[in-house]
Structure 1
Amino acid sequence: MASPALPETMRAIHQPDRASSKLRMDETPVPTPTDPDDVLVKVAATSPCRGELWWARDFPSLFPADKEPVPGQDLAGTVVAAPSGSQFKPGDEVFARIHATRPGAAREYALARQTELALKPKRLGWVDAAAVPLSALTAWQAVFTHGTLEPAAVFGDEDAKARNAKKRVLVTAASGGVGGFAVQFAAAAGAAAVVAVNSGAKAQLVRELGATEVVDYKKQTVDAWASEDPASREVDLIVDCIGGPTMGHLWAAIKEGGTFISVCNHPDAVKPADTTKSLAKTHFFIVEPLGSQLGKISKLIDAGSFRPLVDSVFEFVQFQEAFDKADGSASGKVVLKVSI
């Protein structure tokens, strides 16, 4: 079913050693669909994720031993071939989060499942589109799926918005890829307050995204900030995007009966010994690559409601620099151009 115009080989980035972040560019065959839901996409751009080069090393039981070690699970590109009866057709401009257990998009052609794909927002170019899938899906699931805000509010449901207006939300790493979308989603959903935790240098940026309060972590820890006025500063929902020891400070900012969601580590693992709070929910999760949710996000982006944060852009031959940059120090996403 592949187009006769397809080349026989392509450039692909490989990680030869799971224990090393050293990458190399190889010439490999263009992939052939093997699953009934496989869609072949010509990759325009991908976006490295913080820590993805260590996942197979740290969680070996989750990854097939014979997985082709192509990183870059975020994909933006053009459909080349799709299954019969698919909602996608050759020429469609799409984006996706490819499941981490399969080869990624740091190659000129990649395979994504129909369930992972959505049509790319028309108002975004390839670079911005590649910066969306992981960040936006993770934020959506943190705020709405696992968190307590109601997504119907983003689509105009005033009753849902009124219920959301009773809740305060705190987001860490608020100027990053995931955090930036979490701030935008919480603000658009009508949260009573959106507290952004980031450096003071990014205060104006996060306020533009919808933050109503900013905590400069370089000047003050979250527990110190919360303890100054617990009655007014405690929040109903925490979305943690940074992890590490600082997660423990966040317990001071959550209300009794609140919800604490993290994309980095389980909140209970860093609960201070002297904390007696009982929460409705504490949860750590790994993003699900759902094209159905990504399609909703795409429509919202086209409506002008949301935007991705891009830190830097690299050419394909600069693959090593791009993955090195995506180490957590970037403000927003790093994007690797593949065929643009």
Structure 2
Amino acid sequence: MKAIVYTQYGTPNVMKLKQVEKPESGDNEILIKVHAVSVNYADWHALTGTPYIARIAFGFFRPRNVILGADIAGTVEKVGRNVGLFKPGDAVYGDLGLHGFGGFAEYICVKEEWIAHKPENLTFAQAAAVPMAAVTALQALRDHGQVQPGQKVLIHGAAGGVGTFAVQLAKYFGAHVTAVCSSRNTDLASSLGADEVIDYAREDFSANGHRYDLILGINGNRSINDYRRVLSPHGRYLMIGGSDRQIFQAMILGPLLSKKDGINMGGMTGRTNPKDLAFIKDLLEAGKIRPVIDRSYPLEETHAALRYIGEGHARGKVVIHVVDEGK
């Protein structure tokens, strides 16, 4: 089968299209024919080996997993004898970011607890744009942020993959949403339901006098003190992705500031599971939320997709077509 392989950290140029052995599913596994896979910042971090703290998971000197790609959508081709939830022909989607990646390929073997049935109203490309970003946004708002109806939520980085879902989900939970993004994305944020939109080039959210009950800093470039300054009493701040400096601040300064000021500051990482994928599936099929896709690439141009993601200006998600859905 064809796959995009890399064996050393670096730029997207280290990724090569190669013929590799097609995997065989074991008794507890499912063989999936991948139709589409989306690109996440997790892929960029694993490709470049940055921030360096991430190498604890990815491998200190060279990558442990040579095929990236976490968010997949495809069809079940074969199931092991102990698999009971899926059958050949089922359309599925899932996030393999915590299970070794492997989606930038024509086939992949997974365990049934890593995936869920694909939303019926989405194409494979649209479905691939959902799992990691949507579940991360859901868990940030519902579980870590404990958002309540009427609360004021600030989403810094509202036009990216997680951000576009966070805006929609925060509105679904009844919050008043302020989205922070660039001028070219203000209309997008408004169309997703944001009550207020701040163009960060024109206005500094940390100096406008407003306070928020929950702040999501998504791959943001602001210090933890900027966020602390605009938190309401007993408010919460969550860092989702970021540089070594931002991770350090969330891990070390977050607990100290939380004890001092009575607020709650820290970071989080999404952990996709079938229950949350099913919850997101219901919202997608009901039209409550939708994926936003910026660009699409064929598998052979995965390096170009990663390069675009690395520039940091993608609107929503970038998708790789492994199978042409028009055929």
Normalised to the residue count of structure 1, the TM-score between the two structures is: 0.84
Match of 1:196 among 149, 171, 179: 179
In 2: Cα distance, 1:300 partner to 1:307 partner: 9
Task: Say which is worse superposed, 194-203 or 59-68, in terms of deviation.
Answer: 59-68
In the TM superposition, what is the alpha-carbon distance from 1:319 to its structure 2 partner?
1.4
User: Shift in Å at residue 200 of structure 1?
Assistant: 2.8
Deviations 1:24-69 (A, max 9, x none): 01101111235x5422110001111125243373333324678441
What does the per-residue CA deviation read over 1:124-150, in whole Å, with 9 as the maximum and x for residues that have no partner?
Answer: 11111111111101101111111112x
In 2, Cα distance between equivalents of 1:208 and 1:77: 29
SS of the equivalent of 1:12 reads strand
- Verify the 8 A CA contact 2:159 2:315 in the aligned structure 1: yes
Q: How many residues align?
A: 308
Match of 2:73 among 54, 73, 76: 76
* 2:57 counterpart of 1:62: yes
State how 1:255-274 maps to structure 2 within 5 Å.
255-264=232-241, 265=247, 266-267=249-250
What is the CA distance between 1:275 and its match in structure 2?
Answer: 11
Query: Match for residue 132 of structure 2?
Result: 134
Please list the CA deviations of residues 193-230 of structure 1 after superposition, one character each: whole Å capped at 9, or x if unmatched. Answer: 101011233222212211111111011121122x2xxx
Question: Alignment identity in percent?
Answer: 29
1:100-127 Cα distance to aligned partner (Å, 9 max, x none) = 4514200000122211211111111111
Give 1:19-168 correspondences, 5 Å limit.
19-21=10-12, 22-34=14-26, 37-55=28-46, 57=49, 58=52, 59-63=54-58, 67-84=64-81, 85-149=83-147, 164-168=148-152
CA distance in 2, matches of 1:199, 1:53: 21
Look up the equivalent residue of 1:90 and give its one-letter code.
P
Change in Cα spacing, 1:331 to 1:243, as seen in structure 2 (3 Å) is same
Q: Secondary structure at the match of 2:236?
A: strand
Provide closer, same or farther for how the CA distance between residues 186 and 286 of structure 1 changes in structure 2, counting only shifts above 3 A.
same
Separation in 2, partners of 1:142, 1:23:
32
Instruction: Find the aligned partners of 1:118 and 1:101 in 2 and give their Cα distance.
Output: 15
Contact 2:132–2:270 (Cα < 8 Å) also in 1:
yes
Q: Distance in 1 between matches of 2:303 and 2:289?
A: 30
For structure 1, the 5+ residue unaligned runs are: 1-9, 150-163, 228-232
Deviation larger for 50-59 or 82-91: 50-59
Matched, 1:12 2:10: no
CA root-mean-square deviation = 2.4
Structure 1 residue 79 displacement after superposition: 0.7
Q: Quick check: 1:245 aligned with 2:243? A: no
Q: Distance in 1 between matches of 2:282 and 2:56?
A: 36
In structure 2, the residue corresponding to 1:94 is in which secondary structure? strand
For residues 66-119 of structure 1, the C-alpha deviation after alignment (integer angstroms, 9 at most, x for no partner) is 844101111010011223342111111111000345142000001222112111
Amino acid at match of 1:125: T
Amino acid at match of 1:80: E
1:147-181 deviation line (CA, Å, top 9, x unaligned): 112xxxxxxxxxxxxxx224111111111110110
Structure 2 distance, partners of 1:135, 1:20, is 23
How far apart are the structure 1 equivalents of 2:181 and 2:112?
36
Cα distance between partner residues in 1 of 2:108 and 2:289: 27
Query: Normalising to structure 2: TM-score of the pair?
Result: 0.87
Is 1:173–1:198's contact at 8 Å kept on the other side of the alignment?
yes
Give distance in 2, aligned partners of 1:66 and 1:200: 37
Give me the whole-angstrom Cα distance separating, in 1, the residues matched to 2:307 and 2:63: 25
**Cα distance change, pair 50–88 in 1 and its aligned pair in 2 (3 A):** same
Any stretches of 5+ residues in structure 2 without a counterpart?
Answer: 242-246
Distance 1:280 1:224, change over 3 A: closer
SS in 1 for 2:119: coil
For the residues of structure 1 that align with 2:225 and 2:164, how far apart are their CA atoms? 22
AA at the equivalent of 1:242: N
In structure 1, the partner of 2:200 is 217
Which residue does the alignment assign to 2:244?
A: none
Q: Which amino acid aligns with 2:206?
A: D
Letter in 1 for 2:38: S
| Structure 2 equivalent of residue 335 of structure 1 | 319
* Mapped contact 1:62–1:101 kept (Cα < 8 A): no
The residue identity in structure 1 corresponding to 2:227 is L
Aligned residue identity for 1:74:
D
In the alignment, is the contact (CA less than 8 A) between 2:25 and 2:80 conserved in 1?
no
